[in-house]
Amino acid sequence: MAFCLRSHTGLIIRKILSQKCGKPIDFSRIQHLRAISTSVQLNKVVSFNLSDIGEGIREVSVKEWFVKVGDTVEQFDNLCEVQSDKASVTITSRFDGKIVKIYHKIDDIALVGKPLVDIDVPEDGEEPKEKDPEKHSDSSSDEEDTKSPCPGATPTDEARKKVITTPAVRRLAMENKLDLTKVKPTGKFGRILKGDVLEHLNLIPAGTVKPHPTLLQPKAPEVPTYIPKILAEDRVEQLKGVRKAMLKSMTEALKIPHFAYSDEINMSKLMNVREELKADALQRGVKLTYMPFCIKAASKALTAYPILNSSLDEANESVIYKAAHNISVAMDTPQGLVVPNVKHCEQKGILDIARSLNELQERGQKGSLRPEDFADGTFSLSNIGIIGGTYTHPCIMSPQVAIGAMGRTKIVPRFGPNDEIVKAHVMSVSWSADHRVIDGVTMASFSNLWKKYLENPNLFLLD
């Protein structure tokens, strides 16, 4: 009733009541009813489930919560960040309401399709109320409109600023002839609260109203203090993230009968070509390494021997030949070893491959690789030589059928065309192939063609 008496409809009701009663009504006697709400509060609790994030991922690890029980959220507000086997994903809210339950703690495992949080959402479009002093105001929904100058105030550009607050706070400001644009907000996303106005009018002590977390500057992370342990103890650590993905993929890999083949490549000419092109590539914003040459050479060899760019369908006893050359590249990141892939290498030049590789490496260092960066890989290369070592025995990533690992490039003596001793830069390479579909001759022939392009980089110009 009190709410209606303040609205435009309330003015009409005042006149009707006065005419019916035949005498003026003292409406001030019912002002104490202003806090009584005659509307039915129809709220319901909705379980917000973890939706499918693709790539067949069925479970994730909760890395960080952005909300807590009691917080009010709106649609598309960030709820939490989760880490799958392949990438980090931020989960956002699909409802407006209040968080009433959180199902998982940090580092807990959350299953796809199971609840993450419970949200108390209003029905029939009712907006959830916040625990602010103005919750008993004339309207429970906030307004954001163009600020009109208060009585006695001079209209300026500052007075036309948009102010986020409630009708009760606007009425309080109008009664005190206060320009709300001069009040420092402490509510969520810059909302002016009743306490902000009272503090501005010096009716309550300064600092009584604490700013909402959305207005606070993020604190710099504290540097942990290292305390050395006197006695070492055994500990048990649950596999998560990249390590858990490695457990699954390598278990599947060891079911494949591996065929190994190794060779040496003279990288002397390629090193000279790369040195000549490095500065020009850098001017175009691309860091040119040896890996783009190795990737492009592999794509050329895959065109000649497409069986290595296939996958095995065991159930139907058939081979699926892949049209795209999506070459996976092993990368060492702060999160562990990841293997994203460069898409459609058969359609790209060396500079384009280098640019795509730079982007993947940058996202990998930031931990922002996307699920699509790992999808649909057809062939793999690993440059273990940047760490050390020469020959290795790489494991095939199912459902692929082949993988190559380049070792460290060494300076060794070799015989020249006139039997003279010359300095050569020799790199070793180790191949593994699925012996169920690839025989030794095919693997050796592929390696020889790949080697031919690297030892004679001018061949890239003929294609």
The owner of tokens 């002397």 is 268
Amino acid at 365: Q
Tell me the three state secondary structure of residue 47: strand
Q: Is 393 a catalytic residue?
A: no
Residue of 212, 344, 425, 435 marked catalytic: 435
CA distance 105 to 86: 21
Active site residue 212: no
> Is the bond into 334 cis (omega within 30 degrees of 0)?
no
Quickly tell me which residue has 């290292």 as its tokens.
226
Helical pair 291-304 and 440-455, crossing angle rounded to 10 deg: 130
Question: What pairing do the DSSP bridges indicate for beta strands 341-342 and 327-329?
Answer: antiparallel
Give buried/exposed letters for 104-131 (b at 16+ CB in 10 A, else e).
Answer: beeeeebeeeebbbbbbbbeeebebbbe
**Residue 311 in tokens:** 């996958």
First to last CA, the chain: 83
Rounded Cα gap, residues 148 and 190, in angstroms: 18
Q: Find the catalytic residue in 26, 138, 439, 463.
A: 439
Q: Comparing C-alpha atoms, which of 293, 295, 257, 308 is closest to residue 445?
A: 308
Q: How many Cα atoms sit within 13 Å of 417 on the Cβ side? A: 0
Decide if 146 contacts 160 (C-beta within 8 A).
yes
Q: Which amino acid, 239?
A: L
How open is the CA angle 284-285-291, to the nearest 5 degrees? Answer: 100
Contacts of 299 (CB under 8 A, 6+ apart): 325, 327, 345, 346
Q: How far apart are CA 348 and CA 282, in angstroms?
A: 18
Structure tokens given for 120: 């108390």
Per DSSP, helices labelled H in 305-393 are 350-366
CB-CB neighbours of 132 under 10 Å:
20
Residues known to be catalytic: 435, 439
